[in-house]
Amino acid sequence: MSNENHSNETTNDTLDLLMRHASVRKYQDRPVAEETLAAIIGAAQMASTSSNVQAYSVIAVDDPKQKAQLSALSGNQAYIEECPVFLIWCADLYRLQETAGPQLEDGGTFDTTENFIVATVDAALAAQNAAVAAESLGLGIVYIGGVRNNIAELSELLGLPERVYPVFGMCLGYPEGESGIRPRLPLEGVLHRGRYDQEKTAAQVAIYDEVSREYMLKRSGGKMDTPWSAMMAKRFAEPSRMQMKDFLLSKGFMKR
């Protein structure tokens, strides 16, 4: 097989789009049309879902006052206020509990850790479909884990019932300028063959540390050259959002 044919088989518009992904933190003052939002959420709905449970919901916020409140609860990230639409992706077992639960004599298994995982994964898969759909239409996104900073207050603001929790937020809008593409770990750093290969882990991270260091030097104009492993050491030095376990239990998740 020629190199040309091989190249054609591993490159197409979808792959090109995926490989150009970059988080967008600056947005044009341009609204997202309702039909555009509907198309993006429609694409999200076609994501894979465990046993077709579709255990997620999305809350779209475009009111400036509410976005400001959400920003304050999420680390005062300005792009939450600046983006035209802020989406909150929620794991949702409430809908199933309310509709399927009454058909079960013992009330069902909506409180198990397994179904918590199912709902969380469903929300993540749907959101990533939405991200790709948005980028295919010329929009950009950035995920916001900060919605879990003050999760109880934010959930109350959004009126989230029992067995619904915000997994993450997503800013959505038309990009203002170009966003740099952050390099990822080498393919062999994440792709294992047949079984987990512990021996190659450190070597692959060492390769990525150098790539990451060069990227940070360029991005910061020579002011920062911290390698990835050092950034991760700082990230995992102290626990964060330690309220999560108690909050999730209070919402009826992971009871068993």
The tens digit of pLDDT for each residue in 132-153 reads 999 999 999 999 999 999 999 9
Q: Which of 122, 155, 181 is the last residue of a domain?
A: 181
Q: Are 209 and 229 a contacting pair, CB within 8 Å?
A: yes
Query: Same domain for 74 and 90?
Result: yes
Residue 112 falls inside a structural domain: yes
The confidence score (pLDDT) of residue 8 equals 67
The confidence score (pLDDT) of residue 62 equals 98
Query: Same domain for 142 and 187?
Result: no
The CA-based angle 176-66-244, given to 5 degrees, is 95
Query: Same domain for 161 and 42?
Result: yes
Query: Same domain for 169 and 78?
Result: yes
Q: Which domain holds residue 111?
A: 15-181
Taking the model in full, what pTM does it have? 0.93
The confidence score (pLDDT) of residue 179 equals 86
The confidence score (pLDDT) of residue 5 equals 47
The confidence score (pLDDT) of residue 61 equals 98
Q: Strand (E) positions, 79-226? A: 85-92, 140-144, 164-173
Residues of the chain where predicted confidence (pLDDT) is lower than 50: 1-6
The confidence score (pLDDT) of residue 3 equals 46
Residue 8 falls inside a structural domain: no
Q: Are 160 and 253 a contacting pair, CB within 8 Å?
A: no
The confidence score (pLDDT) of residue 219 equals 85
Residue 10 falls inside a structural domain: no
Query: Same domain for 154 and 244?
Result: no
**C-alpha separations of 52 from 55, 146, 161 in Å:** 8, 29, 22
Residue 4 falls inside a structural domain: no
Query: Same domain for 114 and 234?
Result: no
Query: Same domain for 170 and 59?
Result: yes
Q: Which of 135, 150, 181 is the last residue of a domain?
A: 181
Q: Are 86 and 70 a contacting pair, CB within 8 Å?
A: yes
pLDDT tens, residue by residue, 184-195: 999 999 999 999
Query: Same domain for 76 and 22?
Result: yes
